[in-house]
Structure 1
Amino acid sequence: MRRLFPPPEAAAVPLGELSTLSGLSGLAEAYAYPEPVASDGCWLRANMVTSLDGAAHHEGRSQPLSGPADMRVFGVLRALADAVVVGAETVRRERYRPARARAEFAERRAAAGQAPAPAIAVVSAGLDLDFSWPLFTEPVVPTLLVTGAKAPPQRLAAAAEAGVEVLFAGDGACAEPALIRAGLAARGYRRLLSEGGPRLLGALAGARALDELCLTVAPRLAIGAAPRVTSGPEVPEPHAFRLTDLLEDEGFLFHRYRAV
């Protein structure tokens, strides 16, 4: 992996070979969360992959657009986060499992006061999820359900019966983006990572709840009618972001943007 921006001589963190532990450490430093974090006490970044023609997935899944370097970045971003925020549809399509504790990041997480692995926070209005899945029954850190106070009562009861913790982020049926941040921060989850999907990311970005976007552009043409990495109502003015880092590996481009 090589750095294209800022130029290597100007970069604060050099990158080694990613196949080694020292390389993973260098990548972790390159993607470290800012300190101090945003004024509300947390930092929410998103990590998404897109094809050259703007598709967020192929046949419903992001995996066909990915590659080894993208998966390394994916793993490092998870290893740095307190909690991973993801939409229920993405959980179903991508067959989510609990985040795992990784030995190579154990010391770093312990020094930062983090649990051995990030919690998964599933955002859902209808709670149409199978609570017998390993995501809910076998996590290192308990999985959270994030929803609105008017979520279906029978599904809330099913979650309670399964021992799944529910975070209410708003008075309606859907969780409110700003309250997702606040609710997770109140539970000590300050370093947040969203892995989509497009509707959740569109809601977070539309509410200006997103601090940073880590975007992988894959050297693939997906064609088809897959959505972009964000989906939702058009905003009055496009939101401005600035490029802070650009890395490359085997034709994959890894962008890091910060909200202006």
Structure 2
Amino acid sequence: MQRSHNAIQLTELSPTDLAQLYAYPAELDQPWVRANFVSSIDGAATSGNLSEGLGTPADRTVFGLLRELSDVILVGAGTVRAENYGGARTDPRHRRTLHDQGIGGHPDGSPPPIAVVTAGAAIEPSARLFTDTEVPPLIITTTVAPHERKQRLADAGAEVIEAGGAAVTPEDLLRVLRERGLPRVLTEGGPHLFGELLAADAVDELCLTTAPLLVGGTARRISLSTHEFRTRMTRAHVVLGDDGTVLTRWARR
């Protein structure tokens, strides 16, 4: 469906149409990194310190679809703690259908695992990430992280992966995901992880929801990095919600 140059009303799209708009490229031989964020009109990435504070019905529809399409959901440890992450809840039948169509999903319908980046293995084993999930999370950490922390996370059910020496670089992350056959990557933040991926030129596309709100305050942007960079993006599509929500997808290549 070629509608990329004009805005589309969300109500005009069937679930199949919407999935085709957000389809991953076929036959990936390396990870394709898609970021998904929500922002207010004035650029706030959170309201009340949570991204959930900016959510709208249209945003939640796309948020759920992007999870259904992905192989893995990549997040930073700070976001896991701040947003009280649990495992992804997806529809097994829909996941199988998306897989049969060759655009995402999973052949047995299982949900995508949450992959957490934490150099120090600094996640509590009692967190929802471990107690409220259908699939074990992946903890991507370093060789220098305390062994006892890593062991506690493994005992809680996680797959603990040592991906770097003193730090986990974007290259380390993508190598780990490629080795595990998880090419359809969805990152949901936070801003530091997204900034690191952007600085490494490792983000293929950004799905950005603009909520019809002005927030003010001191909320952060969706990306933070140690230096400025200028990455040219191309608008793939614009979808409009009835309440003023604007759903855009921006592609690097």
Aligned residue runs from structure 1 range 76-87, under 5 A:
76-87=65-76
1:107 paired to 2:96:
yes
Could you tell me whether the CA contact under 8 Å between 1:16 and 1:26 is conserved in 2?
Answer: no
Counterpart of 2:48 in structure 1 is: 59
Could you tell me which runs of 5 or more consecutive residues in structure 2 were left unpaired when the two chains were aligned. Answer: none
Question: What per-residue deviation string (whole Å, max 9, x for no partner) do you get for residues 146-190 of structure 1?
Answer: 112222223112113323211222211x31112101101110111
Structure 2 counterpart of 1:54, one-letter code: G
Structure 1 counterpart of 2:6, one-letter code: P
Question: What per-residue deviation string (whole Å, max 9, x for no partner) do you get for residues 89-116 of structure 1?
Answer: 1111111111123145133245355452
Name the TM-score, length of structure 2 as normaliser. 0.89
Counterpart of 2:153 in structure 1 is: 159
Structure 2 counterpart of 1:27, one-letter code: L
Structure 2 counterpart of 1:164, one-letter code: A
Structure 2 counterpart of 1:226, one-letter code: A
The range that moved more, 152-161 or 185-194, is 152-161
The range that moved more, 133-142 or 80-89, is 133-142
Aligned length: 246
Aligned residue runs from structure 1 range 30-41, under 5 A:
30-37=21-28, 41=30
Question: What per-residue deviation string (whole Å, max 9, x for no partner) do you get for residues 187-214 of structure 1?
Answer: 0111000000101101111111111110
Counterpart of 2:168 in structure 1 is: 175
Counterpart of 1:26 in structure 2 is: 17
Q: How far is the alpha carbon of 1:133 from its aligned partner? A: 2.8
* Pairwise CA RMSD: 2.2
Could you tell me whether the CA contact under 8 Å between 1:4 and 1:247 is conserved in 2?
Answer: no
Could you tell me whether the CA contact under 8 Å between 2:10 and 2:240 is conserved in 1?
Answer: no
SS at match of 1:195: strand
Aligned residue runs from structure 1 range 1-260, under 5 A:
5-7=4-6, 17=12, 23-37=14-28, 41-111=30-100, 112=102, 113-114=106-107, 115-172=109-166, 174-235=167-228, 237-249=229-241, 250-260=243-253
Structure 2 counterpart of 1:234, one-letter code: H
Could you tell me whether the CA contact under 8 Å between 2:71 and 2:184 is conserved in 1?
Answer: yes
Could you tell me which runs of 5 or more consecutive residues in structure 1 were left unpaired when the two chains were aligned. Answer: none
The range that moved more, 50-59 or 108-117, is 108-117
Q: 2:55 and 2:3 mapped to 1: Cα distance?
A: 20
Name the TM-score, length of structure 1 as normaliser. 0.87
